[in-house]
Amino acid sequence: MNKSAKRRLVVVGGIVVIAMLVIVAVAGAGGAASSLSIADVRSGDYQGKKVQVSGSVVADSLESDGSVAHFEIQPEEGTGDASGSSDILVVHYDGALPATFGTGVVAICTGTVEEDNSLTATELVTKCPSKYESAEGSLTVAGLLDQADAMVGESTKVCGYVRGDVNAADADVRFEIESQGATLAVRWDGGMDEAVVDGTAVVVTGALDADGVFVASEQPAIDEAVSE
């Protein structure tokens, strides 16, 4: 084998080695995330590593900074993982929050642990139980608004069809409902069943505020007995 052929062989061999190293590095970077508890993530042993952690969204913890949502999660009730306020994990998520996201909802977050033991999530899904309720005993939107002055601050149920989009939990108005030709804005910062979309018949428990917005006190429920 002449010198020219040997040099070509060395060059080709070097390229193959480099390509293999790149493939291994990419495969390692894209590997499956370790499933951990909140306490594990906060221990400081996983900084810079890809992990998956789940927990209930802490009330009033959601804040937005441009497209980035910042919120806190804590161990789910009944899991036996909770050991106090130290088991609260701060999560940063640059993406659209699902409509099911809200206070008390279980958020399953996948991302990288930062130096301060917070989590920068690249994936976020929620686990929210379905809820159904009868509209019996509830008011229509028109019926509620006809006696709006007397109903401000009074706990009641109102039924109607969702009109338009269901917004994120940090929106001032989560969605609007309509019945008997009248429309009502609903405010709710908790979880939503993903089946609640435009046209869904719902029953909402809460109270009308002085601004004419209905503030829900429970997860809006689907009325199975009604279809559009």
Alpha carbons 72 and 90: distance in angstroms, whole number: 5
Q: Residue 196 is which amino acid?
A: V
pTM: 0.68
pLDDT of residue 131: 78
The region, left, alpha or beta by phi > 0 then psi within -120 to 50, assigned to residue 78 is left
Which of the pair, 82 or 60, is modelled with greater confidence? Answer: 60
- Whether the predicted pLDDT of 176 surpasses 50: yes
H-helix or E-strand spanning residue 90: strand 89-94
Using DSSP's 3-state secondary structure scheme, residue 29 falls into helix
Report the pLDDT value the prediction gives residue 228, as an integer from 0 to 100.
46
Identity of the residue numbered 111: G
pLDDT band at 214 (very low <50, low <70, confident <90, very high): very high
Whether pLDDT at 22 is above 80: no
Tens digits of per-residue pLDDT, 90-112? 999 998 888 788 888 899 999 99
Lowest mean pLDDT among 1-10, 14-23, 153-162: 14-23
